[in-house]
């Protein structure tokens, strides 16, 4: 028998507990038979229920829990659809779920600080790396950090920012104070106003933004290559022969939902890619150590592929082309005659665009200035 629609109501609750719920939310809670949530949340609600505290780890346990229980009220903090359990439950249970939101901690923080909610950047660090904070720290930008530790945030922000901690928002123990090293309640939002310098998200970062052994696509060529790869939010790139990881990293920096798998045969370089990704604020770059084409087998199919190494290795180009879905973009950079010959064959077969990039950088020649040429790069791009 299929379950009755909407037998799971997800109710947002704040630090003000039961008294802070709207009459509609209180009624929805009272009509339920089973109450689920964290221990702390379960204690906020009076009445007779079967109370089920979240197990750990939570997500893998959810299907069984909701198979077993019906007429459930799930307590979630703030707005359940904002970095909350509501989204996970809707994905899992579909129409069984009704959501009743409460103001999120971010709305409350903006109210206390007098900040426009639509202008702040929000970063959730719940079970995620502190490095994610790096790309959002730009001059004058206001940032709210969820699930963070003020000391760790202060270390990333450095001397060029001000940090305000907002604890227990909406509850009787609410406290808002400029942070200067004191212990804080873990239930807090951290507000950051940053005044320091920052790197743009537009591709073509300075070469010295990367640790490298010289295997680095240079700034100007990188910018052109990324414009051909044309990253869009949510899309996945394979960076084949990732070297120092610059293409992978700049793809990921264009939007927080962009994903990358960097494939690199050298373990030493792979480690460097991970280090560069962390310091440039995209720790989610997935690094696979291995040699293409074998290393490409079984990977999630990408929306775009960049081949910066291994062009002449038999099977690499074919494996990349085969992996792309219709509409996917393939961009290949060739520097040697041998890799150009492979590119020429593929261009003859599939068409696309060929661009030859000859970069000359001005630099000192004695007390004058002259042009120093880089090796020309042939960029072939094609859409499947
Ligand atoms: C020129 S570098 C790429 C530079 C990179 N785009 C960047 O900006 O950092 C080429 C890289 O491809 C790697 N490589 C070459 N053949 C490969 C293959 N078949 N599979 C995986 N990596 C390969 C090399 O180890 C080298 O690190």
pLDDT tens-digit profile of 220-248?
Answer: 999 999 999 999 999 999 999 999 999 99
Q: Do 267 and 187 share a structural domain? A: no
How far apart are the C-alpha atoms of 320 and 331, rounded to whole Å? 10
Q: Do 66 and 37 share a structural domain? A: yes
Question: What pLDDT is stored for residue 5 in this prediction?
Answer: 62
Q: Which of these three, 54, 85, 102, is where a domain ends?
A: 102
What are the DSSP calls for 101-123, one per residue? ----HHHHHHHHHT--GGG-EEE
Question: What pLDDT is stored for residue 195 in this prediction?
Answer: 93
- The enclosing domain of 357 has a CATH number of 3.40.50.150
The Cβ of residue 111 has, within 10 Å, a number of other Cβ atoms equal to 13
Evaluate the CA torsion angle 246, 247, 252, 253 in order and state its sign. Answer: positive
CB 330 within 8 Å of CB 336: no
Average pLDDT over residues 64-68: 95
Domain that holds residue 37: 8-102
The Cβ of residue 39 has, within 10 Å, a number of other Cβ atoms equal to 9
Say if 2 falls within a structural domain: no
Q: How confident is the model at residue 127 (pLDDT cuts 50, 70, 90)?
A: confident
CB 351 within 8 Å of CB 371: no
- Label residue 366 exposed, middle or buried (CB < 10 Å: 0-12, 13-18, 19+): exposed
Question: What pLDDT is stored for residue 4 in this prediction?
Answer: 52
Tally of domains in the chain: 3
Say if 1 falls within a structural domain: no
Q: Do 369 and 227 share a structural domain? A: yes
Query: Among residues 352, 261, 266, which one has the least CA distance to residue 306?
Result: 261
Question: What pLDDT is stored for residue 46 in this prediction?
Answer: 92
From ligand 1's centre to the CA of 274, what distance in Å?
15
Q: Do 267 and 177 share a structural domain? A: no
- Cβ(215) – ligand 1 distance below 6 Å: yes
From ligand 1's centre to the CA of 272, what distance in Å?
13
Question: What pLDDT is stored for residue 6 in this prediction?
Answer: 79
Chain centroid to Cα 82, Å, comes to 15
How far apart are the C-alpha atoms of 381 and 227, rounded to whole Å? 10
Query: Among residues 111, 249, 94, which one has the least CA distance to residue 189?
Result: 111
For ligand 1, atom 27, name the residue with the nearest CA. Answer: 243
Q: Which of these three, 38, 67, 102, is where a domain ends?
A: 102
**Position 3 pLDDT exceeds 90:** no
From ligand 1's centre to the CA of 247, what distance in Å?
11
Q: Do 327 and 234 share a structural domain? A: yes
pLDDT one-digit tens code per residue, 4-59: 567 999 999 998 899 999 999 999 999 999 999 999 899 999 989 999 999 999 99
Please give the C-alpha separations between residue 307 and each of 166, 175, 311, in angstroms, as whole numbers. Answer: 47, 52, 7
Say if 202 falls within a structural domain: no
Say if 313 falls within a structural domain: yes
**Which residues are CB-neighbours of 243 under 8 A, at least 6 positions away?**
212, 215, 216, 217, 264, 269, 273, 308, 309
For the chain, what percentages of helix, strand and coil (3-state, to nearest 5) are there? 35, 25, 40
In this structure, the dihedral spanned by the alpha carbons of residues 222, 227, 228 and 229, taken in order and rounded to 10 degrees, is 80
For ligand 1, atom 16, name the residue with the nearest CA. Answer: 310
Among 309, 338, 378, residue to substitute to test ligand 1 (most atoms within 8 Å of Cβ): 309
pLDDT one-digit tens code per residue, 68-116: 999 999 999 999 999 889 999 999 999 999 999 999 999 999 999 999 9
Q: Do 164 and 216 share a structural domain? A: no
96: tokens are 């069984």
How far apart are the C-alpha atoms of 50 and 358, rounded to whole Å? 71
Say if 133 falls within a structural domain: yes
Say if 311 falls within a structural domain: yes
Q: Do 230 and 281 share a structural domain? A: yes
**Position 2 pLDDT exceeds 60:** no
How far apart are the C-alpha atoms of 239 and 89, rounded to whole Å? 34
Residue holding tokens 């045969």?
265
Backbone angles phi, psi at 336, to 5 degrees: -95, 160
Question: What pLDDT is stored for residue 15 in this prediction?
Answer: 87
**Position 1 pLDDT exceeds 60:** no
Q: Do 248 and 172 share a structural domain? A: no
* Strands 360-365 and 377-383, bridge-based pairing: unpaired
Q: Do 95 and 133 share a structural domain? A: no
DSSP label of 71 = S
pLDDT one-digit tens code per residue, 174-204: 999 999 999 999 989 999 999 999 999 999 9
Q: Do 145 and 68 share a structural domain? A: no
Q: Which of these three, 87, 102, 117, is where a domain ends?
A: 102
- The enclosing domain of 151 has a CATH number of 3.30.950.10
- Cβ(249) – ligand 1 distance below 6 Å: no
Say if 199 falls within a structural domain: no
Say if 66 falls within a structural domain: yes
Ligand 1 atom with least separation from CA of 293: 19
Question: What pLDDT is stored for residue 307 in this prediction?
Answer: 98
Q: Do 145 and 47 share a structural domain? A: no
- Cβ(255) – ligand 1 distance below 6 Å: no
From ligand 1's centre to the CA of 310, what distance in Å?
6
Q: Do 286 and 190 share a structural domain? A: no
């Amino acid at each position: 028998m299929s379950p009755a629609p909407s037998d799971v109501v997800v109710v947002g609750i704040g630090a003000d507990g039961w008294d802070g719920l709207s009459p509609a939310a209180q009624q929805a809670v009272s009509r339920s038979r089973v109450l689920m949530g964290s221990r702390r949340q379960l204690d906020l609600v009076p009445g007779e229920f079967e109370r089920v505290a979240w197990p750990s780890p939570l997500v893998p346990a959810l299907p069984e829990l909701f198979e077993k229980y019906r007429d459930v009220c799930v307590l979630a903090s703030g707005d359940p659809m904002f970095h909350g359990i509501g989204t996970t439950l809707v994905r899992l249970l579909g129409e069984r779920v009704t959501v009743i939101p409460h103001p999120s901690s971010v709305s409350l923080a903006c109210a206390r600080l007098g900040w426009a909610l639509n202008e702040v950047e929000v970063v959730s660090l719940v079970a995620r790396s502190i490095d994610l904070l790096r790309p959002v720290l730009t001059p004058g930008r206001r940032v709210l950090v969820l699930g963070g530790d003020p000391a760790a945030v202060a270390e990333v922000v450095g001397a060029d920012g001000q940090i305000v901690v907002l604890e227990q928002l909406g509850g009787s123990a609410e406290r808002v104070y400029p942070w200067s090293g004191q212990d804080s309640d873990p239930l807090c939002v951290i507000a950051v106003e940053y005044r320091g310098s920052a790197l743009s998200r537009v591709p073509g970062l300075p070469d010295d933004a990367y640790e490298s052994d010289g295997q680095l696509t240079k700034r100007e060529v990188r910018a052109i290559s990324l414009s051909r790869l044309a990253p869009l939010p949510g899309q996945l790139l394979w960076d084949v022969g990732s070297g120092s990881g610059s293409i992978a990293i700049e793809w990921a920096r264009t939007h927080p939902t962009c994903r990358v798998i960097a494939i690199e045969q050298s373990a030493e370089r792979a480690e460097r890619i991970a280090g560069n990704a962390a310091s440039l604020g995209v720790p989610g770059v997935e690094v696979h150590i291995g040699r293409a084409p074998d290393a490409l087998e079984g990977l999630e199919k990408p929306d775009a592929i960049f081949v910066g190494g291994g062009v002449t290795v038999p099977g690499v180009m074919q494996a990349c082309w085969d992996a792309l879905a219709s509409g996917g973009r393939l961009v290949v950079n060739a520097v040697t005659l041998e890799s150009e010959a492979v590119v020429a064959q593929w261009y003859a077969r599939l068409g696309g665009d060929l661009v030859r990039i000859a970069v000359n950088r001005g630099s000192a020649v004695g007390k004058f200035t002259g042009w120093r040429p880089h090796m020309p790069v042939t960029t072939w791009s094609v859409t499947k």
